Amino acid sequence: MLDFPTWRRVWLWLVTLICVAAALPSLLSATSIRWPDALPDPMVNLGLDLAGGSHILLEADASQVAAQRLDNMEENVRNTMRSAEPRIRIGDVSTRDGRLSFVLDNPSQIDRARELLLPSINGTGLVREWDMVVEDGNRMILTPTQEGIDQAVSDAMESAIEVVRKRIDELGTREPTIIRQGDTRIVVQVPGLQDPEQLKALLGQTAKLEFKLVDQNALPSDVQQGLAPPGSEIFAYAETSDFAGSSLAVRRLGGIRGDNLTGAQQSFDPQTNEPVVNIQFDSDGGRRFAKLTTDNVGKPFAIILDEQVLSAPNINEPIRGGTAMISGGFSVETANQLAISLRSGALPVDLAVIEERTVGPDLGADSIKRGMLAMALGSLLVIVLMIASYGRFGVYATVALVINVAMLLGIMAVLNTTLTLPGIAGFVLTIGAAVDANVLINERIREERKRGRRVVAAVENGYKEASRAIYDANVTNFIAGVLLFLFGSGPVRGFAVVLVIGLFTSVFTAVTLSRMWVADWLRKAKPKDIVL
């Protein structure tokens, strides 16, 4: 038990040294001493609650993806049937209950129609995207498969993350963390941001820009009541526009979307000096925009942003240059924001902020300072208590404790974990609990001596008999820590990380290292009696 062969000794010191060394860069970063660049520098990250910054949890509306997909399929079916040779006439098109159904005028064309739709139904990926059935010999019903919807949501989330990243980059923020969480959520963490409002406004803006023709045949009274003529839909004017409070009917199909932009900048209308956004289409978008404006000269078209009409100007002449100017009662700030959003692309799905936590940088620094002070004081009290109670054995426990804290920090740095505010509490708890093992061992040695065992035997037995309870206690703490990690979120997880790593380091230092030191002392000093 007290036998430590050289290889074991070397191995123990090596592990200790490496772990403690790994803590140095993190410790030095608090001072002005520079860690040499040539050496690896594992660092403990500071959580947002300590470093200051914003944590934002965004959730996508998955049902919207499904609805959008249904709309696209409708347009696809109409186009396919129209351009078929010979043309396949369809009617009674409906997208109710999340499925697309339509009736063929000529039932004999059903096989041809099925054949034409097959590519879009099978999709491009590995999963079949739609189920197709024929009812009554002439009604075709397309139902999206769950796999297809899941795939679409997943794709939408991937591109939403890209868009979010671009928008945050536009703000010039350093080192944002953007990760997907679960099926429909995105976590955005931005350290040290001063103005979270701007960030939230930017992330919340879908920036879906659409140009649609105004339905001039709609009765104004119907439109204001929200009744859309067949083939049209109704949008409200944006609150910032000149017609806020009223609505507009536009043709559902045949418009174009502002997805294909090469640029967008905030600018001023040369005539009114009002802030506007200039956009440039790419060649494809420019061609389609030119066609739309050429075919509809003299008619009004609506510029719709995120389901709200910004303005509905008349098309005075075809716009062929591939550029357009969007006005709609912007301030310089909102125009600038829209420009950023358009540049980074529209979000494929609406994102809502469902959780936000922001901590100012001053508060975080203050927390660290107070945490450090409390930790130092707490350690001091524990050390005094241990040395007063166990003398020499208390000194071993103290050295073990100091190494324990350094190793804990070092391992956290190597694993690149994050130190949070509750993590500081975790450090303090670890300090208070790490010496528990020494208490159990020392009390046992005391007992064994009282029963009349000789020094070496008492120490040996002390370590052996105490180890059972130490083991069980650490396993139960481990269970509690792991469950906290699994079910906890954010900062609380940081607490669990410290506790769990601290269990391992404390067993290593308080049991293994201290045993080595005690063994060395017993061998060298050969004491007849020990003060305990």
* Binding positions for other proteins, 3-62, rule CB under 8 A: 49, 57, 59
Rounded alpha-carbon distances, angstroms, from residue 370 to 50, 405, 431, 477: 11, 17, 16, 26
In the bound state with other proteins, the residue whose beta carbon lies nearer, of 54 and 278, is 54
Residue 362 phi/psi, 5-degree rounding, is -65, -45
User: Smallest distance, Å, CB 292 to other proteins?
Assistant: 33
Residue 389 burial (C-beta neighbours within 10 Å; 0-12, 13-18, 19+): middle
Distance, in Å, from the CA atom of 111 to the CA atom of 277, rounded to the nearest integer, reads 49
> What character string, x for contact with other proteins (CB under 8 A) and - otherwise, covers 513-532?
------------------xx
In the bound state with other proteins, the residue whose beta carbon lies nearer, of 39 and 486, is 486
> What character string, x for contact with other proteins (CB under 8 A) and - otherwise, covers 135-174?
----------------------------------------
In the bound state with other proteins, the residue whose beta carbon lies nearer, of 74 and 350, is 350
Residue 475, C-beta contacts closer than 8 angstroms, at least 6 positions apart: none
| 391 in contact with other proteins (CB under 8 A) | yes
Neighbours of 71 (CB within 10 A): 14
User: Smallest distance, Å, CB 319 to other proteins?
Assistant: 35
Q: Taking a C-beta distance cutoff of 8 angstroms, is the pair 84, 70 a contact?
A: no
| 252 in contact with other proteins (CB under 8 A) | no
In the bound state with other proteins, the residue whose beta carbon lies nearer, of 18 and 373, is 373
Distance, in Å, from the CA atom of 215 to the CA atom of 398, rounded to the nearest integer, reads 82
Residues 422-481 binding other proteins (CB under 8 A) are: 422, 424-425, 428-429, 431-433, 435-436, 439-440, 443, 447, 450, 465, 468-469, 472-473, 475-477, 479-481
| 491 in contact with other proteins (CB under 8 A) | yes
Judged by CB under 8 A, the stretch of 260-268, 326-334, 495-503, 519-527 that binds other proteins is 495-503
User: Smallest distance, Å, CB 198 to other proteins?
Assistant: 11
Residue showing tokens 């159990």: 440
Distance, in Å, from the CA atom of 208 to the CA atom of 139, rounded to the nearest integer, reads 33
State which of residues 17, 93, 179, 381 lies at the interface with other proteins (CB under 8 A).
381
Neighbours of 246 (CB within 10 A): 13
Neighbours of 53 (CB within 10 A): 26
Residue 435 burial (C-beta neighbours within 10 Å; 0-12, 13-18, 19+): buried
Q: How many chain residues bind other proteins (CB under 8 A)? A: 76
User: Smallest distance, Å, CB 451 to other proteins?
Assistant: 11
User: Smallest distance, Å, CB 528 to other proteins?
Assistant: 16
